[in-house]
Chains A and B, each alone.
Chain A
Amino acid sequence: MTENIISVLSGMLSVDVILCMILGVAVGIIVGALPGLSATLAVALMLPFTFGMDAGAGILLLIGAYCGGVYGGSITAILIRTPGTPASVATVADGYALTKQGKAYEALTVALLTSVIGGLLSGLALLFIAPVIAKVAISFGPPEYFALAAFGLTIIASVSGESLAKGLMMAGIGLLLTTIGIDPYEGQQRFIFGMNFLYSGIGMIPAMIGVFAIAEVFNQIEVRIKSVADEFGDIQVDTKKKFPLRRLKKLMPNVIRSSLTGIIVGATPGTGGAIAAFIAYNNEKTLSKNPDEFGKGSFAGIAAAETANNATTGATLIPMLTLGIPGDTVTAILLGALTIHGLSPGPKLFT
């Protein structure tokens, strides 16, 4: 295994490959930071450009776009209270509260550092623990998947705010939207209403754009703001106010716990960065000595959410590479990309 790692690392040190990774991360951050445009879109947009590339460089470019896209969502979540991606929704409350307190640069630094740590640990998990997690994941049956989905839905209780009824109602509407199309078990149509395009159901990207981007456009039309500056004032990012690294040490237990949460959630198909971020955020809020600070500008809140959502990036590749099961929409695109480049994800990839 060590020989393989050294061989791959030496192959990655060529200028072309490094440039591809930088380009991928840059595009991912830009697309991820744009509200309504997700990491999925960043990867989807970059996919056609990799067709003519070497398989290794192409895949690294796409993975760079994926990781950059997940991180990029936190920038607008912190600065303008609008998450660039669903995975950054949990960052909004604390991030924007810190921006209002004039601590935007510190909040962005915490998000960046914890995202990097979460992403790296997730990459290591992919490298070393993949076979073990894959063994656990392969033993999952319908009861385990149902329990996991039910567990994910219980998170609604902690994010519903004042009205649990409204939170459950919205969860019900979200689930009802997923029933549109052809029933996967009996092959019968559901809620088509004579419109052929609904046979394939409502895609993840249109649904996310509808929920986040269109809602934001309508909100801006209602209040009639002219620009971000009119709505949020002159956003000051004072780069002199640095986040001291010794304070990061205090956050390390939080970062490690949130990384583990992100890795476990990410390795489980059907989940994603948003669920991981909310679970980690909820965990840290429960464990914190000052839970009241959460939502009002807590660095621990940002660290938990950002570490967890970035820790899913490598972990979502575990079931995809070992079992051929895409954990989310991005890995579904990556699965297609690997196939295009002549690799067949699944147990045989490791043999």
Chain B
Amino acid sequence: MSKKYIRIFPSFIIVCLDLFLMFSIPSQVKIYQEGIVNTRFMPYLLTILILVCGLTDIVKGLVLIRKEPEQAAKEETAGIKKSGYLRVAAAAAGVALWLILLPKLGFMLTSVLLTAGIMLLAGNKSWIQIVLVSLILTIAVYCVFKLALNLKLPQGLFFF
């Protein structure tokens, strides 16, 4: 994608997700009775609002690109680095993986790995800090939830 189109990229993604939700309303939102105002009314109203606003933003962005293409690209890509996006994507993938592995491997193991991974991605190079912070933080959270608040956390493989 050309750098000058980065401005409209977030709105484009939101419009795509919005269209997916809009078309999934008939299957995902059950109704008790037919009519204009029912369970589907607000979801339709909101998805239409998001669609209209998203398209408005995209059109505004395209007009700006057409009028001043170089200025638009310069403004929108200022401070943006590809490696930064990749790190954010890796962190998001890490959180998703944590959610999947949490019930199977348990809270302690997965949380230590997630915290260490996030610290690495955030640019921390001190291994002592990474190991200590991830262990202490996870144990502290475990103690607060398990011992003080008496909440059940996934035990997984190692019973903690």
Interface residues of A (CB under 8 A from B): 45, 48, 163, 165-166, 168-169, 172-173, 175-176, 179, 183, 185-193, 214, 217-218, 220-226
B57 to chain A, nearest CB (A): 4
Q: Which of B39, B87, B123 contacts A190 (CB 8 A)?
A: B39
Q: Does B149 sit at the interface, judged by CB under 8 A?
A: yes
**Cβ-Cβ contact count across A and B, 8 Å cutoff:** 98
Verify A222–B39 contact, CB threshold 8 A: no
Chain A proximity mask over B143-160: 1 for CB below 8 Å, otherwise 0:
010001110000000000
Give the interface segment out of B28-36, B66-74, B105-113.
B28-36
Q: How far is the CA of A338 from the CA of B96 in the complex (A)?
A: 38
Residues A179 and B149 in contact in the complex (CB < 8 Å), given A169-B57, A188-B32: no
Chain A residues within an 8 Å CB radius of B91? 217-218, 221
Verify B53–A190 contact, CB threshold 8 A: no
Interface residues of B (CB under 8 A from A): 11, 14, 21, 24, 28-33, 38-39, 42-43, 46-47, 49-50, 53-54, 56-57, 60, 84-85, 87-88, 91-92, 95, 118, 121-124, 144, 148-150
Residues A165 and B124 in contact in the complex (CB < 8 Å), given A176-B46, A217-B118: no
A209 to chain B, nearest CB (A): 12
B116 to chain A, nearest CB (A): 14
Q: Which of B24, B38, B88, B118 contacts A186 (CB 8 A)?
A: B38
Q: Which of A169, A173, A193, A221 contacts B122 (CB 8 A)?
A: A221
CB-defined A-B contacts under 8 Å, sample of 22:
A165-B54, A166-B57, A169-B11, A169-B50, A169-B53, A169-B57, A175-B42, A186-B32, A187-B32, A188-B31, A189-B28, A190-B28, A191-B21, A191-B24, A191-B29, A192-B28, A221-B88, A221-B118, A221-B121, A222-B88, A225-B122, A225-B123
Verify B57–A190 contact, CB threshold 8 A: no
> Which of B28, B39, B47 has most A Cβ within 10 Å?
B39
Chain A residues within an 8 Å CB radius of B54? 165, 169
